[in-house]
Amino acid sequence: MAVAKPTAHFPAFENESGKDLHPTKALIKRLVETYGPSGHEEKIRALIQDEIKGLVDTTRVDALGNLIALKKGAGAGSRKKIMLAAHMDEIGVMVTHIDEKGFLRFASLGGVMPLTLVGHRCLFANGVIGAFGRERKDATANEIEMPRVFIDVGARDAHEMPVEIGAAAGFWREFADLGNRLIAKSMDDRVGCAVLIETLRALKKSPHDLYFVFTTQEEVGTRGATTSAYGIQPDIALAVDVTDTGDTPEGLTMAVALGKGPAIKVKDSGMLAHPGLKNALVATAKENKIPYQLEVLVGGSTDARAMQMTREGVPAGVVSIPTRYVHTPSEMVDFDDAQNTIKLLVKFLSEPIKTE
């Protein structure tokens, strides 16, 4: 008797256009697949500008390219200025040399790890796609050092090269929907941008003046947050970014996992979260039965570091989306974590904020 073979099921490829995806997943797909390495955020900024039309009172772009959107508070009297920052830029590479055979050498834009490159692809602003290769002569399989990695764009020699010195590229991988888990390049921090956009859509009113800032050049030193916070002069600042997890085999010793809710930061290597703000976020999560985790990140920091130290100092904190495989072409998040981060921010911003 013949046994029927099971039908293959490939959720990652059923919604390539994004038409049948959950609206928030479709938004994340649009954001992560858009080009935007540090210092080259024009395309991703234009996309976000379109997404927030009609949701805010004013928008402007400052000298460093930050997109600053203001949603004015409701009611009379003095209002706190709350700055929420998610960075638009992604890690990438920049061409430094073109050899006579048409191979490219490059410098990194942000925390690029050579181990993640070989065999993967990158995308330039003009649409050219390149593959990362490595020098193999006199090298072992475990030797992958950045100076020995190159980019191959298919050029036969330097004369038919489609990119020039100084051209920037980001990783290129398609968005994959695995159900509750989502995989893509540049979840750091396009998932944070998606959370801010969806927070704007869900937030009916707030007693505060809310500055939703989509920052530039975070990956190369939180530069956009530095200048935008100086101009806004916020009373309270919150970064929405990704964080590492400790839930993979022999992974980091870290009490953050996918699927257990947004991570409210206590500390990272660049800042100590304001304890009153951290406690206020925890209280909001508890009152509204929103799952949450406490985050202590040993390496790395966020825009909150820059916002905290602007002018005479600002109470600052971070709400993080747990992410596996950060700074690789396949960063993974849990969709419920993103949804619960939106719920937490909406509840938190809807009421007066007390940080004492």
Sign of CA dihedral 276, 188, 116, 260: positive
Q: How many C-beta atoms lie closer than 10 Å to residue 75's C-beta?
A: 9
Sign of CA dihedral 259, 49, 171, 111: negative
Q: List all residues 6 or more positions away from 289 whose beta carbon is below 8 Å from its beta carbon.
A: none
Give the Cα separation of 224 and 110 in Å (integer): 14
Q: Which of 314, 224, 308 lies closest to 40 in space, CA to CA?
A: 224
Q: List all residues 6 or more positions away from 6 whose beta carbon is below 8 Å from its beta carbon.
A: none
Catalytic residues: 218
* Residues 52 and 210: beta-carbon distance below 8 Å: no
Residue 200 corresponds to which amino acid? L
